[in-house]
Amino acid sequence: MQPGIAAATPGYARALRSFLAYLRVECGLAPATLEAYTRDLDDLVGDLLARGVATVGEVAPAHLVEHVRFLSRDRKLDPTTIVRHVSTIRVFFRYLHANREIPENPARLLERPTKWRKLPNVISPAQMKRLVESPGPDQGELWIRDRAILELMYASGLRASEVGSVRLNQWFPTIQSLSVIGKGSKQRIVPVGGCAAQAIQRWIDEQRPGLVDGDESRADHRLFVSNRGKPLERVAVWMLVKKYAAVAGLHGIHPHVLRHSFATDLLRGGCDLRTVQEFLGHASVVTTQVYTHVDKSRLRDVARKFHPRFG
């Protein structure tokens, strides 16, 4: 769908502005979350316009049902993405109805599709070792930074956005820990393993000063910066991971694979689920439970050891 179509359509623009202002000011949602809402509503409005529904007041329950079918049948979106779309639609129309901008809520009977939980993609410790050790002098001038980033992502389970946003004063070398601001502006303290701590400190001591060149305002005091001394964007972290995955001969690797592998290896080593939840910054342990799939072999070994009739 055309980006910005909702904001540019007279029959929907006012409602969209009001809704996004509510999310930004009253709900305090992060820019990335607001962008996701905007994209979902652009998709919705584009589809509604194609069906001849010119204003938000004309939207009927049948239109929304057809839109969800369109997302699944024609666009073949992932079930998780469809669940997010439906959530956006429900919140949008509930807000408009509560503020008397529409007489009825057409999304009141719109049911969320069952969310199929996709098992996380993980790699073995041996493959991870190849990945985090792939940055070297032959991989460009910033290999010290890149090694520190990969070591940190695997050592602490950070998201790509968290890697880019962490600031220099959030790194505590004495206790080898980071203060991280995650989703929903929630703060957590994560310990950093020895290999990652050494890599970070080497980056800080040997390479970061030359890139920042004393201009911390330009760097926004970020721990990791670009080759121009500016904050490192999330997309740069994605590209970095993809680059070194190719160097290591690995396929289908993205930043979240390091996070998944971090959690998986903790559980495989005997860490309890609640602690892993704290490490990852999950609001609910239900989200963390997806990682328990990795212990199928371990469960068999335990059963064989303790159950008298388990052959």
Count CB-CB contacts under 10 A for residue 155.
23
For 171, the 3-state DSSP assignment is: strand
Nearest to 93 by CA among 48, 41, 30, 29: 41
CA distances to 30, 72, 97, 189 from 27, rounded to whole Å, are 9, 29, 18, 25
Q: Which amino acid is at 67?
A: H
- Rounded-to-integer distance, Cα 12 and Cα 17, Å: 9
List the beta bridge partners of residue 187.
181
Task: Provide the CA 253 distance to its chain's centre, in angstroms.
Answer: 15
CA 54/CA 248 separation, integer angstroms: 52
3-state secondary structure 42-69: HHHHHHHHHCCCCCHHHCCHHHHHHHHH
Rounded CA separation 56/41 (Å): 11
Q: Which amino acid is at 240?
A: L
User: Would you please indicate which residues are annotated as catalytic (active-site) residues?
Assistant: 159, 183, 256, 259, 282, 291
Among 55, 53, 50, 83, CA closest to 68: 83
- DSSP-H helix ranges across the chain: 5-8, 10-21, 31-50, 61-69, 79-98, 125-132, 143-156, 160-165, 194-202, 208-212, 216-219, 234-247, 255-268, 273-280, 285-288, 296-306
